[in-house]
Amino acid sequence: MGTSLARESTVLDAVDARIVRALQLNPRAGFATIADVLGLSEQTVARRYRRLRRAGIVRVLGVVNPAALGQSTWLVRVRCRPDGTTSLAEALAQREDVAWVALSAGGSEITFSVRSRTREQRDHLLVQRLPRTAPVLDIQASVLLHQFVGGRSDDWAGLSARLTGAETARLGATEIPVPSRTTRPITLEPHDDALLATLMRDGRASYAELAAASGLSEGRATRRVAALIDSGAVYIDVDLAAAAMGFTTQANLWMRVAPSALHAAGTALQKMPQVAFAGATSGQHNLSAAVICRTLDELYAFTTEQVGALEGVQTLEVSPVLRHVKQSGALTEGDRLAPPE
């Protein structure tokens, strides 16, 4: 296993890493724009991006924000019999409303998030189907109350040092507020499903492709996609095969934090480059995070010296991820992202 990871980690050279970070900052930026900022040729950027995508290193995709539609995100931990964990995780990964499916606890636990567009869809999964599934021993479901990290393509900052401050500023996308559940829900239009389905397959799909898929004119498709992004109904995310880039250790952190210190602790996690997601949740653990490190030694130092030192943290459970079955929207094959269907 170690040899395989070492071989895969050589795929991403310094130029590749700079291109990937540029995509994190502005995932729909044209190749010419990225090339101009990075001092490369447009052909080089285009060729390397296509190679990275074919190799399962990077995927750009659209993600629907359920909060904008008046719904919630739930984080779910399912304890299973080991002989049924993999098949259940793979079945969950096939659902469009399920993301970040991971196997942990030595393969006896599945962690995933539910981003259902309707309450009926969510309840059917959490209340009816899962509890009746044979391998399931226990279910813990927590609603995401506040998201500190996540919902933007550049949240994980593990590659931030690859670009200068000036390059980052030139590529940085406009900050778009994520709608809260107190905001009036956004109503999708008839053509939106086709637009969203196309973006979910390829977040860099051209406006001509989006127009053809939705039956709109190219101008209308351009304006509607911009409106969906500006409203926060959808954001363009960048899925990465972290192990192939040398970040071979990932873990979910479950913390119990004093309520008076919860917001400060979550805000502190925002500044830590290892953190790919962090949110305040309901339940016995009121702060959850997903972290990406290069090694177990780095994970140990990070959790003990940085997370454990946060004021108000009372308990900390570190659950190493055995493997991801699905990320933000991309299925996985081994340590790589699977090709889009």
The string of pLDDT tens digits covering residues 54-102 is: 999 999 999 888 878 778 899 999 999 888 899 999 999 998 889 899 9
pLDDT of residue 66: 80
pLDDT at 1 over 60: no
Q: Do residues 268 and 274 make contact, with C-beta atoms less than 8 angstroms apart?
A: no
pLDDT of residue 99: 87
CA-CA distance, 267 to 261, in Å (whole number)?
10
pLDDT at 9 over 80: no
pLDDT of residue 164: 94
Could you report the per-residue pLDDT of 227-245, keeping only the tens digit for each? Answer: 999 888 899 999 999 988 8
CA-CA distance, 150 to 288, in Å (whole number)?
12
pLDDT of residue 121: 80
Give me the mean pLDDT over the 183-212 stretch. 89
Dihedral pair phi/psi, residue 193, rounded to 5°: -60, -40
Q: Is the dihedral of CA 78, 80, 82, 88 positive or negative?
A: negative
Q: Do residues 338 and 325 make contact, with C-beta atoms less than 8 angstroms apart?
A: no
Q: Do residues 9 and 295 make contact, with C-beta atoms less than 8 angstroms apart?
A: no
pLDDT at 187 over 60: yes
